[in-house]
Structure 1
Amino acid sequence: MVKIRLTRGGAKKSPFYHIVVTDQRNKRDGRSIERVGYYNPVARGNEKRFELNTERVNHWVSHGAQLTEKVRALVKEASSQAAA
């Protein structure tokens, strides 16, 4: 099954996540099919907290991809920001 989930990057105590489309059998930071955005939980000042290509996410969901809970929350937040 194809999943849209987070892969961890960044330094120790300073996490940074890429939002990727991957097969669920791959490791968390393993091979991915496509990178569709990023999430920076420790963003400060003018830094963006997250960026997401919702068009590509919708494409993958229409082809059967499943979202993890955190990614689902980020997609919901991105759609509310786009509406405002």
Structure 2
Amino acid sequence: MLKLRLKRTGRKRQPAYRLVIMENTTRRDGRPIDQVGYYNPITKQSDFDSVKIIKWLGYGVKPTPTVFNLLKKAKIIEI
């Protein structure tokens, strides 16, 4: 099953995350199928490709709870 989840990048104690599409059995820092954005929790800076995200969600990709909250905050997903 495909998941929309975070992939950690950055240095020790300076995390940055990429928003990626991956198989749920792949390890956290494994090879993604597609990269659709990034998020920096220190500066609260984020950039999401909403067109790609909506396309993948239409294919049935499930976001993780953390990613779901980020997308809701960015108003890409509305409930």
Q: Same fold (TM over 0.5)?
A: yes
Give the CA deviation at 1:3.
0.3
Letter in structure 2 aligned against 1:30? G
Please state whether the residue corresponding to 1:31 is helix, strand or coil.
Answer: coil
Give the CA deviation at 1:74.
1.0
Query: Greater strand percent: which structure?
Result: 2
Number of aligned pairs?
76
CA contact (8 A) 1:39 1:51 kept: yes
Runs of 4+ with >4 A deviation: none
Give the CA deviation at 1:55.
1.2
Unmatched 5+ residue regions in structure 1?
A: none
Unmatched 5+ residue regions in structure 2?
A: none
Paired with 2:72 and 2:50, the residues of 1 have a C-alpha distance of 10
Encode CA deviations 1:5-37: one digit per residue, 9 max, x unaligned. Answer: 000010101000000001111110001000000
- Scaled by the length of structure 2, the TM-score of the pair is 0.90
Q: Give the structure 2 partner of residue 64 of structure 1.
A: 60
Q: Give the structure 2 partner of residue 20 of structure 1.
A: 20
Q: Which has the larger radius of gyration?
A: 1
Query: Greater helix percent: which structure?
Result: 1
Q: Does 1:55 align with 2:51?
A: yes
- Scaled by the length of structure 1, the TM-score of the pair is 0.85
CA contact (8 A) 1:37 1:53 kept: yes
Bigger Cα displacement from structure 2, 71-80 vs 53-62:
71-80
User: What is the identity percentage for the equivalent residue pairs of Structure 1 and Structure 2?
Assistant: 38
